[in-house]
Amino acid sequence: MNLFGKDLITTQDWEKDELTAVLELAEDMQKKRFSPKYTKLLQHKTFFMFFYNPSVRTRQSFECASTELGGHAQYLEPGGMRLKTKKTAGEIIEDAARVMSRYAAGIGIRMLEDKITRYGEADDMLREYAKFADIPIVSMAHDKYHPCQGLADIMGLRKHLGRDLKGKKLLLYWGHGALARSWCSVQEALLIYSRFGMDVTVASPEGYNLDPAVIESSKKNCGDNGRKFEITHDPVEGYRGAHVVYARNWMSPNAYHDGEFHKQEEVDKALQHSRWICDEQKMKLTDKGLYIHPMPIDRGHEVTDEVASGPRSIIYDVAENRLHAQKAIMALTMSKFDYKLKKTAAKVA
């Protein structure tokens, strides 16, 4: 399977077999982390990383991934690059993308909540870069999607629940907290978990609906797999029978208005929903449910320490998986590495 040059803005844009190839390759790369088979795939090649928003795991994992593939990751702060913005003159995306395509093997972009003035603005920007660049554009998390996190999640579930996830139940659970988080990770979870055949239940208070287009795509994914998609506003019922609990805060659809992101309003509103926390009592209703979160975790709000650090938590496995999944993505899209799906995995994945 040759994916050389392919952009990754959301997993929904990729074929199921292509996603399975990433997962299989990532799993092999984890087992053979420093094997000569992989350590020269990006030799002498550079990956540009645009960080409009800071990060811990994303920067660390991409830099490690580049190094372990024999390449180099270059950290870029757009504020120091003379790029055109709504308020300043500078280089337009077309010119920047075409020039950088002559330097690097790929471009990663991270742009979240407070760096945009409306939902969808970052997604539009990534797709404009993809239009003009001759090298892959990879989302390192933006306002709509976080594909690398979604793949790391599924990699973790394949390890703990088996490669065939069909019929397992995901509870995507809104958690209250002092953060106003974007929709990127939870929407990617909806899309990719449903692609891999899981039943999906979304639980949130009234007024915390996600992107209607993402909901419809997730419903269709479930329908195509003969699985269920449900939405509830009850803080407890969704836990019953869940195999995976993904408890994370996300902002309301009203977070952007008057051309601004109103973070404090979102925080104040979220803190009123104190019943919406993932705790041990609720987890007892699950079917030995795993706890998963993209991190960083707002402990004591989204989830209790007892659950986050408990025996059913796989948060650290998933954090590690970011490295291996991103290595696989980079190998497949930025080198001419060709991968053939395992026949047995292709039947069940």
80 pLDDT band (50/70/90 cuts)? confident
Neighbours of 275 (CB within 10 A): 11
Distance CA 126, CA 290 (A): 33
Residue 89 binned pLDDT confidence (cut-offs 50, 70, 90): confident
- Name residue 162's amino acid: G
The three-class DSSP label of residue 226 is coil
pLDDT at residue 41 is higher than 70: yes
Strands 199-203 and 229-232: parallel
- Phi, psi dihedral angles at 25 (to 5 degrees): -65, -40
Alpha helix (H) residue ranges in the chain: 16-31, 57-68, 93-100, 121-132, 147-161, 184-195, 212-224, 263-270, 280-283, 305-308, 315-334, 343-348
Q: How far is CA 103 from the centre of its chain?
A: 27
User: Residues near 56 by Cβ (< 8 Å), separated by ≥ 6?
Assistant: 296
Tokens of 13: 């844009």
CB 216 within 8 A of CB 186: no
Question: Can you tell me the distance from the alpha carbon of 109 to that of 137, in angstroms, rounded to the nearest whole number?
Answer: 8
Q: Is 133 left (phi over 0), alpha (psi -120 to 50) or beta?
A: beta
Residue type, 154: I
Q: Torsion over CA of 18, 24, 25 and 31, rounded to 10 degrees?
A: 170
Q: Would you state the structure tokens that stand for residue 252, as one six-digit string? A: 């309301």
Report the pLDDT averaged over residues 137-141.
Answer: 98
Backbone angles phi, psi at 335, to 5 degrees: -125, 170
20 has a pLDDT exceeding 70: yes
Tokens in use for 341?
A: 């799906």
* 165 has pLDDT over 90: yes
Q: What is the rounded average pLDDT of the residues 59-67?
A: 98
Q: Contact, 47 vs 104, CB < 8 A?
A: yes
Structure tokens at 192: 């990719």
Structure confidence at residue 344 as a pLDDT band (50, 70, 90) = low
Higher pLDDT, residue 84 or 300: 300
Instruction: Report, as an integer, the average pLDDT of 189-212.
Output: 98
Quick one: pLDDT at residue 187? 98
Q: Can you give the pLDDT at residue 30?
A: 98
Q: State the pLDDT at residue 346.
A: 38
Distance CA 266, CA 14 (A): 33
pLDDT average, residue stretch 94-111: 98
Q: Give all domains of the chain, ordered by start, each with its CATH number.
A: 11-145+321-344 (3.40.50.1370), 163-317 (3.40.50.1370)
Over residues 307-337, the pLDDT tens digits come to 999 999 999 999 999 999 999 999 999 998 9
Q: What is the pTM for the complete model shown? A: 0.96
Q: Is 156 helix (H, G, I), strand (E, B) or coil?
A: helix
Contact criterion met (CB below 8 Å) for 156 and 292 = yes
Strand partners, 49: 75, 108
- What pLDDT was estimated at residue 147? 98
- Comparing 84-98, 116-130, 230-244, the range with the smallest average pLDDT is 84-98
Rounded CA-CA distance 130/140 in Å is: 14
Instruction: Share the mean pLDDT of the chain.
Output: 96
Share of the chain above pLDDT 90, in %: 92
**C-alpha to C-alpha distances, 124 to 97, 118, 257, 292, 329, nearest whole angstrom:** 14, 11, 18, 29, 22
Task: Write down the pLDDT at residue 331.
Answer: 98
CA nearest neighbour of 53 among 109, 13, 127, 120? 109
- H or E element at residue 174: strand 169-174
Q: Is the pLDDT of residue 345 over 60?
A: no
Task: Work out the percent of the chain whose per-residue pLDDT is above 70.
Answer: 98
pLDDT reading at 347 higher than 60: no
Confidence of residue 349 (pLDDT cuts 50, 70, 90): very low
pLDDT at 87: 76
What string of DSSP letters covers 324-338?
Answer: HHHHHHHHHHHS---
> Which has the higher per-residue pLDDT, 347 or 83?
83
The pLDDT of residue 9: 98
pLDDT average, residue stretch 85-90: 82
